[in-house]
Structure 1
Amino acid sequence: MSELKLSYPGYVCAPYLHNRDSLELKESWSNSKNIERLFFVTGTFSSESQPYFSTSANHYLLAKFKDSSIVEKELSKHIQEKTSFVFNIHDDLFEREVLGETNFISIYYLEYGEDMDDLIEIAGLLLKREKIEVAGIGNMSTTCSVPSKFTFPYSENMIVIEVASEKSHQSVKKYCDQTQRDVTRKGFTLSNLLSLSILDQLK
């Protein structure tokens, strides 16, 4: 009997390489009912995560989806030499309205799987940062035609936040860095994986 695979909402980051795969994904996601929002973004990996993803790109299509199984099926038809990332959100920490448009998404990982009390405390710390409109916790999977030299060990403990601000991406990045320090100061090993600066909203 085949194992039933659960489906989750979340985010997908596919490298935008100006090739047929990128264009077909852009077209498909622009018209898909499964895709809530679609962005063109610049991706910046932290120095800690960069060695795990040597096949990363500079620009990505970032889509917020409702059903991970549909996205994974689509990605399997468009495996590229640069890594694609799927972030499945198992639990929403919070979602609220804040001033400004979403212009930055920051993705972190916890080096240790925290229990529910810890996650509640982390959510409380993130809530104090008034520019964060969405925060969720989940896992990460990747696809790439080039095998990775190293396996990223923290893919089950991902935290994704959406930040709304009218300020520059550089300013928002500093804001996220301070947020990370606030959480770390409380004893949680929260590390940055990837920062996504939104250049254009496509949907």
Structure 2
Amino acid sequence: MTRPPRSADPAERILDELLLRAPRHPAPPALRARLRLLVGPAARPAPRPRAWAALAPALAAGLVLVAGGLLVGRAGREGGEAGALVAEAVNDHLRVLARQQPPDIASGGPHQVKPWFEGRLDFAPDVPSPPGDDVRLKGGSVGYVFDRKAAVLEYAARGHAATLLVFRAGGRPWPEARAASRVGFQIVLWRSGDLGHALVSDLPAPELAEVAAALGAGAAPRGAH
């Protein structure tokens, strides 16, 4: 398969990657009939490049919702609980990238973001301070990791988007490996008491390990799989 030109826009890049990895199956007859009714007999002109760029985030969000379950399911078969957790973290990061709205609480610093979670979560999440000028806390929102609520913290790290998920880890097996790679993203996992943390970004693995250590992960990860 010919790989499309790599886009500089993050949403279009995510869409390209998901389209390349999406399974291809013939559409059922009923679906083809419904599409014909929606589209009509006349061919519609292709959108202009600017229109495509505007639609890319919404299309990427839709593909994330469709492909997310496939990613988690396949990871669960390949790597058990560890694979499922890694895939869940990547899916959550993709949802953040595809979302067109700003964070629910824009960052004025951890001292503003952390109190915002009171009453919205049943635990007090860690909201690490940015370790330097090259890492910035953009804000936070409430999301889910599997069936439990999570703090979703958005960072700009060395010119890349990074998502830190903080959630209750009790009751779930915790993977021994502390670093992983999935569909072009790096993931660092660590625990602090009962809280689990998953940091996801497309930063190179050594750089993400440094950011994770500065955010509270402790020692550098033992290696990716």
After TM superposition, the score normalised by the length of structure 2 is 0.26
Q: Which of 1 and 2 has greater Rg? A: 2
Instruction: Write 1 or 2 for the structure with the bigger share of helix.
Output: 2
Instruction: Write 1 or 2 for the structure with the bigger share of strand.
Output: 1
- Which structure exhibits the higher relative contact order, with contacts defined as CA atoms closer than 8 Å and separated by 6 or more residues? 1
After TM superposition, the score normalised by the length of structure 1 is 0.27
